[in-house]
Amino acid sequence: METTYVMVKPDGVQRGLVGEIIGRFEQKGLKLVGLKAVVPSEETARTHYAVHAERPFFPGLIKFVTSGPVVCMAWAGKDAISVARNLIGPTNGREAAPGTIRGDYGMDIGYNMIHGSDAPETAEFELNLWFPEGIMQWDQTISRWFYE
Ligand code: IDP
Ligand code: MG
């Protein structure tokens, strides 16, 4: 079992896509183990995207992601990191396949509505960053109908 960090970015919140996005993860069979909305501090945003600090789009990305509320989520399940990335789709919405979140709702690289951790190490780092209080442990009784 893995846990991944997923975040609806300010454009997704502004566009009223929070319910739609959460619904996709629920219907897929992932288990919700963390959920909150925050307006990110500049420090948290810079730490989250530190790997991109030298890229030309970095200042704009930090301005964008701190511009309003984001919805922070932790989702658990078998291979949750890749399952979530597959639901999200590639970075550029114009190139993302229909059926993915970015493919269905996005038209750009920067405004792509949602973040998902890309590896176990980044998931752990991001979960600690956004959920320092920890995430939930609970028994999802329906999970036996998702896994053989
Ligand atoms: P990912 O979110 O699909 O993992 P990354 O390459 O890790 O994509 O980039 C992180 C985020 O930075 C993207 O989701 C997007 O919001 C933003 N970003 C990446 N490349 C560009 C760009 O060329 N212009 C503007 N924003 C970008
Ligand atoms: Mg990335």
Residues in contact with ligand 1 (CB, 6 Å cut-off)? 52, 57, 61, 91, 109-110, 112, 115, 118
Count of domains forming the chain: 1
| CATH code, domain carrying 34 | 3.30.70.141
State the pTM of this model: 0.98
Residue nearest atom 26 of ligand 1, based on CA coordinates: 110
Ligand 1 atom having least distance to the Cα of 88:
3
- Inside any domain, residue 122: yes
Q: Report how far apart, in Å, the C-alpha atoms of 53 and of each of 25, 58, 59, 92 are.
A: 29, 6, 8, 19
- Inside any domain, residue 145: no
Residue 48 Cα, ligand 1 centroid: separation in angstroms?
12
pLDDT of residue 69: 98
Range of the domain at 77: 2-140
Q: Report how far apart, in Å, the C-alpha atoms of 100 and of each of 62, 86, 128, 132, 148 are.
A: 25, 7, 27, 29, 25
- What does pLDDT average to in each consecutive run of 10 residues of the chain (148 residues)? 98 98 98 98 98 98 98 98 98 98 97 98 98 97 94
Distance in angstroms (rounded) separating the CA atoms of residues 102 and 115 = 10
Residue nearest atom 27 of ligand 1, based on CA coordinates: 110
Start-end of H helices in the chain: 10-14, 18-28, 42-48, 58-65, 80-88, 101-105, 120-130
| Residues annotated as catalytic (active site), given as ranges | 115
Both structure tokens of 59: 């200042």
- Inside any domain, residue 146: no
